Amino acid sequence: MFKRILASTVLFSILATATPSMDQASAAGTAYHVNVSTGTLNVRNQPSTTGKVIATLAKGYNVTVSSQGNGWARISFNGKVGYVSSKYIASGSTVTTASTVSSNYKSKAISIAKSNMGVRYVWGGTTPSGFDCSGLVTYSFNKAGYTKLPRTAGEMFNAGTKVTAYQPGDLLFYATSGGLKVTHVAIYIGNGQMIHAATSNGVSITSINNTYWKPKFMGAKRI
């Protein structure tokens, strides 16, 4: 009996050493995989469901957990700090990180988008049978090996790093309904041009100085 107890104690000690707890790992600033069954995770300004949602993160997004308690985790992402439910983060998960994605995924995404030139615009469309604006962007980047983009233009606008000097592969955002709400996204392809899925022309290339699009521009993000 004593030997069985001793063996169990030794085994537990080995497992505890080999697999640190979430709290132990978060104290070390470990990057966690956001595991969200619904596809997005709300980030709030305080550890409560009554906290204001300040961003949404897509499934597979890496965050750094600095502390946890009462079912909430304090995280940092894109230079921001917020709180998410601890049950939606999992340490040790297999993730796609910047180091494992080919450095030329942006040029590949542009090539894939261009290969779909002329495809008709379809609201909610995510395949070459029809694209909406964000559907074209997510499809192109997913095929290029970058799978961390959220689904909608508004959600994408909360990801990445804001830039004012554009590079091919940066995402450009527009408010087509007036106001400040982002409703359209395009991919910058260089030389003052962007490729996007437009309601009028489907997948097409246009100038970023186009008289229709320029006044509606909301900003650019680098992913």
Q: Write down the CATH superfamily of domain 105-222.
A: endopeptidase domain like (from Nostoc punctiforme) (3.90.1720.10)
- Which residue among the candidates 133, 137, 172, 187 is catalytic per the annotation? 133
Instruction: Count Cβ atoms below 10 Å from residue 202 Cβ, excluding itself.
Output: 19
Contacts of 130 (CB under 8 A, 6+ apart): 119, 120, 121, 122
Return the percentage of the chain with pLDDT > 70, whole number: 73
Active site residue 184: yes
Give Cα separations from 62 to 49, 88, 132, 136, 142 (angstroms): 22, 12, 27, 23, 17
Contacts of 209 (CB under 8 A, 6+ apart): 192
Which amino acid belongs to residue 179?
A: G
Residue 79 has pLDDT above 60, yes or no: yes
Active site residue 133: yes
Instruction: Give me the mean pLDDT over the 137-164 stretch.
Output: 91
- Which residue among the candidates 33, 74, 196, 221 is catalytic per the annotation? 196
Higher pLDDT, 60 or 52: 52
At 12, is the pLDDT very low, low, confident or very high (cuts 50, 70, 90)? very low
Residue 36 has pLDDT above 70, yes or no: no
Start-end ranges of CATH 2.30.30.40 in the chain?
2-90
Tell me how far apart the alpha carbons of residues 13 and 152 are, in angstroms, rounded to a whole number.
Answer: 46
Domain 2-90 = CATH 2.60.40.1930: no
Residue 32 has pLDDT above 80, yes or no: no
Residue 143 has pLDDT above 80, yes or no: yes
- Which residue among the candidates 184, 185, 195, 223 is catalytic per the annotation? 184
pTM of the model: 0.56
Q: Give residue 177's pLDDT.
A: 87
Lowest-confidence segment of 51-55, 98-102, 130-134 by average pLDDT = 98-102
Q: Give residue 85's pLDDT.
A: 86
At 48, is the pLDDT very low, low, confident or very high (cuts 50, 70, 90)? very high
Q: Do 157 and 106 form a contact (C-beta atoms < 8 A)? A: no
Q: Beta 193-198 vs 184-190: how paired, if at all?
A: antiparallel
Residues facing 44 on adjacent strands:
53, 83
What's the token pair of residue 33?
């995989």
Start-end ranges of CATH 3.90.1720.10 in the chain?
105-222
Instruction: Give me the mean pLDDT over the 114-122 stretch.
Output: 96
Q: Which residue has the tokens 């490729």?
A: 195
Active site residue 33: no
